[in-house]
Amino acid sequence: MFETFKRGWSMAGASWSVLKAYPKLALFPVLSGIALIAVSAVLIIPTGVGALAGAGMNLSDKAVESVVYVALFLWYFLCTFVVVFCNAALISCALQSFAGQPPTIGSGFAAAAKRLPQILGWSLVAATVGVVLQALQSLLTDKLGFFGDLLAGIFSAVWGVATYFVVPVLVTDGVGPIKAVKRSSGILRRTWGESLAGSGGLGLISLCFILPLIPLFGVGVMLAGRAGGGVASGAILGTLIALSVVYVLALIVVFTALGSIFRAAVYVYATTGVTPSQMDATLLQSSFSSK
């Protein structure tokens, strides 16, 4: 646990040096989140209304269910595309900074747009696999209960591990989704999973930043109680909740950017043996096993 925490802290510090130099990189997760909300509003709400309308028109349950599933798959595909496209733009900017070229939001999106066919292909594969895994989880859970759920979780984890470096591969090599998965798996075998362990450490660091919210909420509840209820108590709790939401969202944005930056750095080191100037060579070298 301590080693994981130490690695996560080192990762955060090394990636922070890049983000601090180019703070606009944090806009990519923000834009991704906004786009996801827009996609959800455009697809899910009409789908729900359409399903109710179909039921009102006495369509069969199977027909309504088919429409819903098609719409949900389209939603899953578009959400995957949004996340991958914005992540590709962010990783492109990180790679530009490693090469000594000041990145911009425009240059990141331009680089991602050059890989649009590959990103679309990967989004389709990822969305299809995601839907299949969800269906498999539902089937296994119904048949085997907890063990089925656990088994499905293992399948999902294996897929996530195998595709860890897919986006950097797409950005730099411009290959199709199948080759991207193969190259991602090959890089991961060379790192012996240490890069994933480091990412887990980064997640542990983010959790440490969230923990202070617990005593903060305790203080807020105590102050609200002393206010005697009514409008004053509601105002205190409402303000506290709003600030907490903003704080958590900011953490998600920052640590999403940090994780992508470090993933790009490990990819550069794994494929070229060159340590980006902003990164710690020892930290990157430790991502590889000597076995």
> Which pLDDT belongs to residue 33?
93
Helix/strand/coil percentages in the chain, nearest 5: 85, 0, 15
The pLDDT tens digits along the chain (291 residues) read 555 555 556 667 778 888 888 999 999 999 999 999 988 887 766 555 455 444 455 555 566 566 667 777 888 899 999 999 999 999 999 999 988 889 999 999 999 999 999 999 999 999 899 888 887 887 888 877 778 788 888 888 888 888 889 999 999 998 999 999 999 888 877 665 555 545 555 666 777 778 777 777 777 677 666 665 556 666 777 777 888 888 888 989 998 898 899 888 888 888 887 778 767 666 666 655 444
Q: Residue 212: in which H helix or E strand, if any? A: none
> Which pLDDT belongs to residue 290?
45
> Which pLDDT belongs to residue 93?
95
Tokens standing for residue 50: 């359409």
Q: Residue 278: in which H helix or E strand, if any? A: none
Domain count within the chain: 1
Choose among 172, 140, 167, 143: nearest CA to 156. 140
Range of the domain at 221: 1-287
Distance CA 175, CA 118 (A): 7
Distances (CA, A) of 44 to 34, 72, 112, 169: 15, 7, 27, 32
Give the residue carrying structure tokens 């199977």.
62
Distance CA 150, CA 128 (A): 21
